[in-house]
Structure 1
Amino acid sequence: MSDEAPDSLIPYDEIVQEALRAVVSRVLGEVVRDGLPGDHHFYITFKTRAPGVDIPDHLIARFPDEMTIVIQNRYWDLKVDEDRFEVGLSFNQISSMLHIPFAAITSFVDPAVDFALQFHVDEVEGDVNDHDPAENDGDAEAVETADDGSNVVTVDFGKKK
């Protein structure tokens, strides 16, 4: 008997990631409709060079691989489409519109309730391994995700090559 799992002909990892990204879409859609309830706020980390990401050049220069944005007090024009969202944020008092496909998101955290989702995003050619959280002009504390497994869902089935 072998300890290796057989290769699946069903792409479970892709199906689960798509379903969990739908959670992010639904949550943001509810914020569009009703505003942020209570103390909820979000840290959203995404690949800056993923297909479909549209952010200002000065942000790509500062965050060539990944950046984390804060959706809390100072954001505007939040819109959610089937496969992406857009939001206005201020970085060093410079207003910027960001267009981010859900497929580019690597993590979604709501520290108010210790909830986090982490995603696998295929590497984009030219990716750099540095990650530096964006300092948009929100009033949030540093991102801390639970490392004890409580309310954290990590999706990575380890793709067979």
Structure 2
Amino acid sequence: MSDAAPDSLIPYDEIVQEALRAVVGRVLGEVEKNGGLPGGHHFYITFKTGAPGVDIPRHLTERFPDEMTIVIQNRFWDLNVGTDGFSVGLSFNQVGSKLVVPFAAVTGFVDPAVNFALQFSAQVDEDGATETGAAENDAPLAEPIEDGSNVVSVDFTRKK
């Protein structure tokens, strides 16, 4: 008898990843709906610049060929959030640019004002293309139970 965990026919990693990316969409949607950021909130959003659906100016792709982090804080405009991604206007070296980012391309989301972070690891599929993997938090979101089973304990409490 083998101690290896059986392969799941249910894609739990994909389901959790999609749910956590929906958190990013919901937060950005609230900012769009309210017309700005409340209090001291601001976001660092990291994404894969070469991911399908990403549309950013060529000079940014050349400068950030793999991954880029943007800051949504004081100077942004035209935030538009959809079900699959968002677009936003930002200034780079005093040049306004529109960025279109699908949620599937996001690899990190941080709101330092409340010490909240989601991190998505990037994986390479069989064709060599980049896709996103399971989500993690600053402190592990899921930790294995010590009994060696395939069960994980998920803690969604906020860090203080």
TM-score by length of 2: 0.77
Q: Write the letter of the residue equivalent to 2:101.
A: I
Larger Rg: 2
Partners in 2 of 1:84 and 1:27 — Cα distance?
Answer: 12
Deviations 1:50-91 (A, max 9, x none): 000000000000000000000000000000000010000001
Q: Write the letter of the residue equivalent to 1:21.
A: R
Partners in 2 of 1:122 and 1:76 — Cα distance?
Answer: 32
Which residue is equivalent to 1:36?
Answer: 37
Q: Give unpaired runs (5+ residues) of structure 2.
A: 131-136, 143-160
Runs of 4+ in 1 over 4 A off after TM superposition: 124-127
- Larger strand share, 1 or 2: 2
Q: Does the residue aligned with 1:78 lie in a helix, a strand or coil?
A: strand
Q: Give unpaired runs (5+ residues) of structure 1.
A: 128-145, 155-161
1:12 matched to 2:34? The reply is no
The count of residues paired between Structure 1 and Structure 2 equals: 133
Partners in 2 of 1:88 and 1:40 — Cα distance?
Answer: 18
Partners in 2 of 1:52 and 1:123 — Cα distance?
Answer: 17
Cα root mean square deviation, aligned: 2.0
TM-score by length of 1: 0.77
